[in-house]
Amino acid sequence: MRALSIKFEVTVLYVLILGVILVGYRFFTHRDLSNRLYHSIDRRMRLTGDELGRRIGALVNTEGGRHNTALDLPDEYLLGPDCYRLFNAKGELIEQSKFCKYNFPPLLKKELKKLQNSKYFFHNVVVSGHHFRLGSILFSSLGAQGYILQICRQIDDVVALLHRRIYVSAGSILLILLVVHLLGRLLVRRILGPVLNVARVAKTISAKDMSARVSVLNLEAEMMYLANSFNQMLASIEKSFEYVKEFSSSIGHELKTPLAIIKGETEVVLRKKRRVEEYRRVLRVNLEETNRMIHIVEDLILLTKLDYRPSTIYKEPFDFIKFFTEIWQRAQMLASHKKISLSATIPRTPITIQGNKLHLNRLFMNIIQNAVKFTPSGGSITLAVHPEGQTVKISISDTGPGISADDLPRIFQRFFQKDKFKSRSGQGIGLGLSIAKSIAQFHKGQIEVKSKLGEGSTFTVLLPTAHS
């Protein structure tokens, strides 16, 4: 079954709503006009009936009940087009004027009953194809029984006017709905245009090319919000795809190397019988490469936790000064192996922060290990902790070769490694600084770096205190 388009449904819906409103409006205006016209006719008939009732009553009283009233009506009434009929209290016709050329219906019991409750009763009838308004008036003569005077007035012109109004209203409603339908389709097309544009852009997206974006020019606020949200989603997906491609390439290369070493060493040692020492050497190499692969996988799991499941990581308040002093002591051992001078400026006043000690230790040790790795023997590394309001600032400076301006924006990217550094270290896959940045962000902090080639580097970590 083919689904109906939103454009069709919206257009039909508001055309129907407008149609109901117009029909209702025309119905009430027609009813109001009809009531006004009939009220005006009834008012004139009531005045005429009251006047004739008084004259007929006077004739009955003075002439002792003679009923030849048709001959005695004033000329201004006899010359008119109306028909006058006189009934007794039982509804029996007594007299009628000479202009009553149509066979009007007799008084019914229900009309008599209504006249007993109200002096006047008006209704419409159709006689010989003509429309009449019948007005019945009950009156009593002094000392005599009651009489009913009925005035029959032709209202073909009024009925024709009301019918024309109905036809004109129906035609105007249909014309209005047609025009509104056409305008509505144009309006809905304009409103839904950006949505269709989003759909067209979505169809062009593929894993090979995710650069397409929805234009936000000349859009209404709501549609601009939709387009911007869609573009942001595409940007996030594109970034994720780039990460996956880079991850697949890097992880494949990094895991391929230790696996190739393990395979090669094992094949060589199995070609012939060897001494026990040779077997032990191969097992040590295989163990080192296995540990390296485990380390790579652990790093990736940590990044996934930090980025996608941070709620699973426990935080607790602790004294940062005591914590960082322990890091400085371990860092001294690393620096001493390369004969690097390591100094630290750490205040004695306790500073409490809310965080995860294990991951914060990983953050600072990653930076310090990089500083030790790239600082030549005889160089120096400086650690400093400075409380600044509701933030604690930790800086780690070294006298290494520095980082070029081109590489500075990329050093926190995952799997980024400068070729000369990579060949020098022989370890890692470029996740250390990326992990450090993710840990800082997890703790609502940030990490910055300043560096120049030949002048060393300074990494600065800003962390909020527990009171903030």
Q: Is the pLDDT of residue 191 over 80?
A: no
pLDDT in tens, 196-252: 777 787 777 776 777 778 777 777 777 788 888 888 888 888 877 777 776 677 677
Please report the pLDDT score of residue 3 as a whole number: 65
Domain 221-308 maps to which CATH number in 1.10.287.130, 1.10.10.60, 3.20.110.20, 1.10.10.10? 1.10.287.130
CATH of domain 6-164: 3.30.450.20
What b/e readout covers 306-333, taking b as 16+ CB neighbours within 10 angstroms?
beeeeeebeeeebebbebbeebbeebbe
C-alpha 465: how far from chain center:
38
- Tens digit of each residue's pLDDT (9 = 90 or more) over 318-329: 999 999 999 999
How much is the pLDDT for 407? 86
pTM for this predicted structure: 0.50
Where in 101-224 does DSSP place strands (E)? 120-127, 130-140, 146-154
Which part of the chain is CATH 3.30.450.20? 6-164
pLDDT band at residue 68, thresholds of 50, 70 and 90? very low
Average pLDDT, the chain: 82
Where is mean pLDDT largest: 29-43, 210-224, 301-315, 417-431?
29-43
Give pLDDT, residue 73.
57
Region 281-294: what's the mean pLDDT?
A: 85
First to last CA, the chain: 59
- E-strand stretches of 230-369: 316-319, 341-345, 352-355
CA distance 451 to 214: 39
Q: What is the mean pLDDT of residues 54-74?
A: 55
CA separation for the pair 105, 124 (Å, rounded): 11
208 half-sphere exposure, CB direction, 13 A CA radius? 2
* DSSP-based three-state secondary structure for 189: helix
The two tokens of residue 365 are 């040790």
Q: Which residue has the higher pLDDT, 297 or 60?
A: 297
What's phi and psi for 120, nearest 5 deg?
A: -120, 150
Enter the CATH code of domain 313-464.
Answer: 3.30.565.10
Closest CA to 314 of 361, 354, 356, 359: 356
**Average pLDDT in the 148-172 region?**
92
Q: What are phi and psi of 70, to 5 degrees?
A: -60, -30
Residues of the chain with CATH 3.30.565.10: 313-464
Residue 429, pLDDT above cutoff 70: no
Read off φ and ψ for residue 275, nearest 5 degrees.
-75, 165
CB-based contact 32:26 (threshold 8 Å): no
pLDDT attached to residue 365: 92
Residue 168 is predicted with a pLDDT of 92
Residue 123 bridge partners (DSSP): 134
> CA 277 to CA 269: how far, in whole Å?
11
